[in-house]
Amino acid sequence: MKEIAASLAVSVLASGAAYAEEPRRRVAPPAVYEVAPGLGHFTDNVLFGEVWVRDALAPRDRSLVTVSVLVSTGKTAQIGSHVRRALDNGVKPEELGELITQLAFYSGWPNAISAVTETKKVFEERKIGPVADSAADRIQLEATAEAARAALIAENVSPTTPALADLTNRVLFGDLWRRPDMAPRDRSLVTMAALIAIGQPEQIPFHANRAMDNGLTREEVAEVATHVAFYAGWPRAMSAVPVLKQVFASREAAAAPSNAAASGELKVIRAEPASQGTPGPASNFTGEVRVTNRYAGEAPARIGGGLVSFAAGARTAWHTHPLGQTLFIVSGQGWVQKEGGPIIEVGPGDVVWIPPNVKHWHGASAATPMSHFAVAEALNGSAVTWMEQVPESQYRTGPAR
Ligand code: MN
């Protein structure tokens, strides 16, 4: 009876319609099929049979991304096999050394030192000699972007942690990012992969913009998140998606007006009912929120905005604007609060100025809807940094009376 059940199970597995296709080439070791046949199928048919061969990212880039995930998440047991694959895919030994150096800063020295031990074994096995620093000139960082970056550090980091600010300027951006041993594009690629893998979505806008400024395409950035899902898990990849969406949208908005500027045409964005607007994403808003009449100024202007309509009780999550924001209250009754401050009630005709980098939220009052026209300038293509939601208990406190 037991035997019948067993052979029945085997035949069901063997004829399992979904997994009937034979993998072209098995990467998963036999043990995987013996313990977790489903995992064997996904490894060979999906991860290596589909994802690794997708055109959206070259095999060399996929190797850089994979090794970055393994290094940054401390998965030392898998590093050796992927270092071999990386070498086979055209990653130079010097670049592997530089990847590890880069990720020491972004995921910590211990992970980097562990990666060195595993990589050294592969270098010995392949008779790869000691790797030396490149003799090429230091890379010149783009001056405007570098000035904007330094200004952010001066404002946000220096007053609190002056030594960290100094090291960030002098070592991280003044030395590491300027090392010629790895192309800036690849340095951005490995940094992006590591940030997604270790779950640092708040650091992604800066580095996603930098990556695209360094030549990574939007499709490649999206594919990095897709590839990382397999090596760091779906939740980490999914957490990166709304952040990337925001970055893509703000870069599109920043790029589009330059065409309009060439035409010299006035733009009129016609009024439309809120019901036809774009819903505010649930990751950044609580309750029913619609955006209409979105506009973006023409370069070199970096202003943009839109009409945001909040149902009663709806509000933004906590957030900041790198260059501040102005709210023109159009209708209803609204609430706005900065971190540590009281909830302030605002009404039609009121104008609210939110200074740069002040953490705040805005929305309708609990009982009455509100619409405001919101205007902000983008810095490095980004006009907002989203944070956690405003909990019901905090929101319900309402304005001081
Ligand atoms: Mn705001």
Residue ranges near ligand 1 (ion) with Cβ within 5 Å:
325
* 306 and 208 in a common domain: no
User: Which CATH number is 108's domain given?
Assistant: 1.20.1290.10
Amino acid at 53: V
On whether residue 260 sits in a domain, the answer given is: no
Going by the DSSP 8-state scheme, the letter that residue 42 receives in this structure is: I
Question: Do 194 and 299 belong together in one domain?
Answer: no
- Is residue 262 situated within a structural domain? no
CA distances, 196 to each of 28, 75, 86, 112 (Å): 25, 15, 20, 17
Please tell me the predicted confidence (pLDDT) of residue 262. Answer: 54
215 and 315 both lie in a single domain = no
What's the whole-number average pLDDT of the chain? Answer: 90
pLDDT tens for residues 385-401?
Answer: 999 999 999 999 999 87
End-to-end Cα separation, the chain, in angstroms? 77
Instruction: Tell me the per-residue pLDDT of 273-285, one tens digit each, with 9 for 90 and over.
Output: 888 788 888 889 9
Choose one of 224, 254, 284: the last residue of a domain: 254
What is the domain-level CATH number for residue 361? 2.60.120.10
Give residue 153's pLDDT.
Answer: 92
Residue 400 lies in a domain: no
Q: Is the pLDDT of residue 44 over 90?
A: yes
Whether 265 maps to a domain, the answer reads: no
Same domain (yes/no): 85, 172: yes
Q: Output 281 or 40, whichever has higher pLDDT.
A: 40
Nearest Cα to Cα of residue 355 among 380, 330, 377, 331: 377
Burial (CB < 10 A; 0-12, 13-18, 19+), residue 64, is buried
pLDDT average, residue stretch 148-163: 92
Burial 301-319 (b: 16+ CB within 10 A, else e): ebbbbbbbbbbbbbbbbbb
Same-domain check for residues 93 and 11: yes
Residues 215, 313 share a domain:
no
291 and 378 housed in the same domain = yes
Centre of ligand 1 from the C-alpha of residue 388, in Å: 13
| DSSP 8-state code for residue 169 | I
Same domain, 149 and 239: yes
* pLDDT of the residue at 252: 86
- Give how many domains the chain has, as a whole number: 2
Query: How many A from CA of 53 to the centre of ligand 1?
Result: 42
211: helix, coil or strand?
helix
Looking at residue 125, what is its pLDDT?
A: 97
127 alpha carbon to ligand 1 midpoint, in Å?
57
* pLDDT at 3 (0 to 100): 44
Taking residues 102-122, report their average pLDDT.
98
State residue 160's pLDDT score.
95
Helix (H) or strand (E) holding 362: strand 360-364
> Where is pLDDT greater, at 129 or 393?
393
In this prediction, what percent of the chain has a pLDDT beyond 90?
A: 73
CA of 116 to the centre of ligand 1 (A): 44
Cα-to-centroid distance, 400 and ligand 1 (Å): 21
The answer on 148 and 9 residing in a single domain is: yes
Give the pLDDT score at 14.
41
> Which of 219, 254, 289 finishes a domain?
254
How far, in Å, is the centroid of ligand 1 from the Cα of 376?
A: 8
Residue 401 falls inside a structural domain: no
Is 170 contained in some domain? yes
pLDDT at 8: 40
Q: Average pLDDT of 171-180?
A: 95
> What is the DSSP secondary-structure string of 230-295?
HHH-HHHHHHHHHHHHHHHHHHHHHHHHHHHHHHT---------GGGSEEPPTTTEES-EEEEEEE
Distance 105 CA to ligand 1 centre (A): 32
pLDDT tops 70 at residue 42: yes
pTM: predicted TM-score of the whole model, two decimal places = 0.62
CA of 319 to the centre of ligand 1 (A): 6
Residue 166, burial from CB neighbour count under 10 angstroms (0-12, 13-18, 19+): middle
| 215 and 309 assigned to the same domain | no
Range from 73-82, 358-367, 381-390 carrying the lowest mean pLDDT = 381-390
Structural domain boundaries, residue 373: 274-395
Residues 354 and 243 in one domain: no
Q: Give a yes or no: residue 57 inside a domain.
A: yes
